[in-house]
Amino acid sequence: MEEARGWLGRRIADFLTKELDGYSPSAPPDPEALARVLQPGDVLLVEGNTRIASIIKYMTQSTWSHAALYVGDIPGTESEGEAHTLIEADVKLGIVSVPLAKYEHAHVRICRPVAMTPKDRAEVVRFVTSRIGQRYDMKNVVDLARYLLPLPIPARFRRRMIAVGSGEPTRAICSTLIAEAFQHVRYPILPRIDTNKRRGITHYARAELIHIRHHSLYAPRDFDISPYFAILKPTIEMGFDYKRFIWRDDSTGAGAGERQVGRIGMPDPPPAPGS
């Protein structure tokens, strides 16, 4: 039975990881700026374009469907001349290292743990690195496939449906692995709620906020909304100066009295020698 379920899980994984047509990120990152800003211990959220990404986006009501941990150059790993710097849980391959270039055409977000000590950052990196080679729980994949059915799922059930499958400790989904690493060093992701002092909060909300503290229920979105992770945008971190952009008016089709819309062009070129 286990063998049959594993075979079915692999077939479903192939289906779920198929990329969807028509995806185009609105703001793809500058690969060079992204690489210069990232630090070991940063969480990289990704807006995926696969069937399983669509499921996770729907279940969590978020644009983020995947999470990877930046660990810096991993010795002995290289793809097309680039060292691997990210560790992630892949549905088909399990926990693997990948180069940053894998997401150069995806919409991403950097989430950095605030005030984390260098020692704890190193321990988080060690924790996820030691798990490379472990497999994704195929029971999770079989259960996730059920949510391809076009059935409305009440909001109060979506969170718990992320905790699917057997939950074996040696197998993990992307955000579970990273959440477990941060909890390993007792770094918070979502705040604790004092149920005795909060007013106007429902019994369900109290139970839900307490329940999701377990690492098996964390989703990529949680790093984005966490009050303990800073959101970094490479363009800003690298020194953004809007005065360097050339704005040109597009008057094509503009009628008399209509406001012409400015478009951002390329930054000013460097001055010519002797100018």
Beta bridge partner(s), residue 66: 46
Structure tokens at 14: 């192939």
Q: Within a domain: residue 176?
A: yes
Q: Within a domain: residue 114?
A: yes
Q: Which domain holds residue 227?
A: 2-237
129-139 per-position pLDDT tens digit:
999 998 765 55
* Dihedral angle of Cα 225, 231, 235, 237, to the nearest 10 degrees: 170
Q: Within a domain: residue 185?
A: yes
Q: Within a domain: residue 271?
A: no
Span 31-59, mean pLDDT? 85
User: How many domains does the chain contain in total?
Assistant: 1
Task: State the sign of the Cα–Cα–Cα–Cα dihedral 91, 97, 101, 103.
Answer: positive
Query: Mapped to the 3 state alphabet, what secondary structure does 101-132 carry?
Result: HHHCCCEEEEEEECCCCHHHHHHHHHHHHCCC
111-159 per-position pLDDT tens digit:
999 999 999 999 999 999 999 998 765 555 555 555 444 455 555 555 5
- pLDDT confidence tier of residue 178, bands split at 50, 70 and 90: very high
Task: State the sign of the Cα–Cα–Cα–Cα dihedral 160, 164, 167, 170.
Answer: negative
With tokens 């075979």, the residue in question is 7
Q: Within a domain: residue 37?
A: yes
Q: Within a domain: residue 206?
A: yes
What's 28's domain CATH number? 3.90.1720.10
pLDDT reading at 249 higher than 80: no
Distance CA 129, CA 125 (A): 6
**What does pTM read for this prediction?**
0.71
Q: Within a domain: residue 275?
A: no
pLDDT reading at 230 higher than 50: yes
Q: Within a domain: residue 247?
A: no
